[in-house]
Structure 1
Amino acid sequence: MSFGDPNNPYGQPPQQPPAAPPAAPGYGYPAAPPGVPPQGYGYAQQPAYPGYPGGNQMLPQSMPGLLVTARVFLFLISAVQILAALGWFYFAAIANDVSNAADSYSSSSDDPFSSFGDGAGIASGVLVIIGLIAAALATLSITLGVKFGKGGQGVRITTVVYGALGGVVGLISLFVGLDSGLATAVIFPLIWVTFAAIITAAPVVPSGTAWFARPRY
């Protein structure tokens, strides 16, 4: 009886070829658990969150609707303020022309034309100052509206103060209009108070506060 016979039940079993060793993980990568493909060289990496520390922060949301409304109101107010500034400058020019004409007709300092000319000159200077104030307020309104997109707490606080002061002026004008009994004297102050209230409230509500406190990268 030969041990080399493959049909011999008492012979040695045929030797199996050696099993291939398990694939080692890539250099510098830990071994992956069963069922998870390795992340070594040649394997696609898992996508990560784009460019934010911690990798799990949400992308900045769009500007809240109330802030968008306040921004539009700021631009509308700036347009009114620009028109008002141009009007004040125009009236100042008229007063200056009147002052010059009165001075040309006056013959002495006691002449009534001289006094009228002096008054017109003073009025012209006052109107110029008012026009400059209106132009400065228009610049502030436009700046705040533009800064809503990237501004921080400074823009937020300035907007709240600016809107509150505008609301106070609007309320005073509204009370004066109500006291006059004229409907036309109430409409414009009422619109102004509404605009000022929205401009003041928009940065204070939670959505507005979160918008100005959002991280910027």
Structure 2
Amino acid sequence: MSFGDPNNPYGPPQGQQPGYAYPQQQPQQPGYGYPQAPPVQQQYGGGVPMAAMPGSVSAARVMLWVIVGLQVIGVAGCAFYAAAVNHAKHDSTLQDDSAFQRMADYGTGILVAMAVFALAWGVFAAVLAVKFNTGGNGVRVTTLVFGIITAVLGLYPFVIVGLVHTVLAILIACFVGGANGKAWFNRPRY
């Protein structure tokens, strides 16, 4: 087979001279001087650098923002309840109502303290959610502790309204404590 055969499928296209159709590649000569460095390997993510937050970690951050929203609703509810009880204590028609007296026994101070605690817990959740992009392993551990304490508080004192908090807190602890959470919070920062 030669390039002169017009029916040769391995020859140059018709109308071109050999050597002009494609650039010729020179064989590589062994280099002189210093040896080449080995390729750089990434430490996390199986050799793939983590450019975007993993889905499970992002979901944990969204769940923290949901907890912040629920805390704001709880603060408003406690404050409204405290104001209503304080106002109703002076109403003479409710002095004989035993159900109201049980409700008034809590006192406005305890209700205000619960509102302040709910506000502080919501601010803490917001700070953790904001720190997910830049935080290191300390944010991860703090979020794990936050999730565990929130799950316990959702079970005991606030059983009915705390059920949503408990589920969200368990999911947050699982997502942040998993392999993706560990890789995200321990990633190298440049």
The residue number in structure 2 matching 1:147 is 131
Structure 2: where are the runs of 5+ without partners? 1-27, 32-38, 43-47
**Higher gyration radius (CA):** 1
Could you say what the CA RMSD is over the residues aligned between the two structures, in angstroms? Answer: 3.4
Q: Hey, what does 2:19 align to over in structure 1?
A: none
- Match of residue 81 from structure 2: 91
1:205 aligns to 2:189 (yes or no):
no
- Percent of residue pairs identical: 33
Q: Which runs of 5+ in 1 are unaligned?
A: 1-32, 37-53, 106-111, 177-184
Instruction: Give the total of aligned pairs.
Output: 145
* Distance in 1 between residues matched to 2:148 and 2:183, nearest whole Å: 20
Pairing partner for 2:168 from 195, 198, 203: 195
1:69 equivalent to 2:53? Answer no
TM-score by length of 1: 0.56
- The answer to whether the 8 Å contact 2:153/2:162 transfers is no
Match of 1:123 in 2: 107
How far apart in 2 are the matches of 1:188 and 1:126?
18
Give the corresponding residue for 1:216.
189
CA distance in 2: counterparts of 1:160 and 1:188, whole angstroms: 18
Cα pair 2:155 2:162 within 8 Å, conserved:
no
Query: What letter matches 1:135 in structure 2?
Result: L
Q: Deviations over 1:3-26 (max 9, x none)?
A: xxxxxxxxxxxxxxxxxxxxxxxx
CA distance in 2, matches of 1:195, 1:68: 13
Offset of 1:203 from its aligned partner?
Answer: 1.8
| 2:47 equivalent to 1:80 | no
Q: Is the 8 A contact 1:95 1:121 kept in 2?
A: no
**Which structure 2 residues correspond to residues 1-217 of structure 1 after superposition, within 5 A?**
57=42, 59-99=49-89, 101=90, 120=104, 123-172=107-156, 189=163, 191-217=164-190
Distance, in Å, in 1 between the alignment partners of 2:29 and 2:82 is 86
Over residues 52-105 of structure 1, what are the superposed CA-to-partner deviations in whole Å (9 max), with x where a residue is unaligned? xx9765643311111111111111111011001011111111222234x36xx7
After TM superposition, the runs of 4+ consecutive aligned structure 1 residues lying more than 6 A away are none
Residue 180 of structure 2 aligns to which amino acid in structure 1?
A: S
